[in-house]
Amino acid sequence: MLRYKSDFPNQVHQLNVSLSKHYFLLNDGSIKWQAKELDINWTNLEKTQKKHLVTYIIRDHFSNCFYAELHSIDKMPSIHEFLFNAWTRKLDYDFYGLPDCLIVPKTTQEQFPSIRTFFSKFDNPYLQTPTSGFSSAAVSIRQWERFIKFFTGVYKNWQTLAQFQENIALINKETNAFVSRDRQDSNLQKWRDNNPQIIEIGNKEQFYKLFD
């Protein structure tokens, strides 16, 4: 497996869009977790009887700090909508800025071909496809899904997908501010304290046009 190296925050980001194997949506809009892993992939969705959930996640390689969103399979946003949300300034969460390099799996590039259109217009930032494996992104998704269970369990007014998404910046902040027992700092602290490179992405309309 190829191991990537980064020297500072926002030098390298990783993008992943994945189906949740443990979460789905009830008819009333509530987020439901089940322990048994769902046997689903992008090709067999129509055969299942559940409304599945999709995680979009951008992870900073240096700090592990990430921005994630959770969406219903039938209301997935465009990739430029998500990337704008991830890279723009946010009131409740410090993480922002365009990276020098975005690593995207080939399957995600094929699912969202406008990613290649965007990067074809620049020498820097540039797009990179991992040659094999994407374990670090998988670790971030597992961490994210543990916090979905926590937030929807503790906060009764965050149990529906609509309520959860309304508070998404704050949820990302709290998730990345968590300090595990084997670390001295959080993802967010490591990102903030190591002079992140900040490249502004401009306004929404101009940003969206870069994907055409």
3-state secondary structure 192-206: HCCCCCCCCCCCHHH
Nearest to 212 by CA among 113, 101, 146: 113
In a domain, 82, yes or no: yes
Question: What's the pLDDT tens digit per position in 86-137?
Answer: 999 998 899 999 999 999 988 899 999 999 999 999 888 899 998 765 555 6
Question: What's the pLDDT tens digit per position in 196-205?
Answer: 999 999 999 9
Evaluate the CA torsion angle 136, 177, 56, 129 in order and state its sign.
negative
In a domain, 4, yes or no: no
In a domain, 7, yes or no: no
**Predicted pLDDT of residue 66:** 94
CATH of the domain at 187: 3.30.420.10
Query: Identity (one letter) of the amino acid at 115?
Result: I
Supply the range of the domain harboring residue 165: 12-209
**Predicted pLDDT of residue 55:** 95
In a domain, 2, yes or no: no
User: Is the CB of residue 7 less than 8 Å from the CB of residue 60?
Assistant: no
What the block records as the tokens of 121 is 């217009």
In a domain, 5, yes or no: no
* Cβ-based neighbour number of residue 117 at 10 Å: 13
Rounded to two decimals, what is the model's pTM?
0.91
* Count: domains in the chain: 1
Question: What's the pLDDT tens digit per position in 149-187?
Answer: 999 988 888 999 999 999 999 999 999 999 887 788 999
**Predicted pLDDT of residue 39:** 85
Query: DSSP assignment of 109-126, as one string?
Result: HHH-THHHHHHTT-SSSE
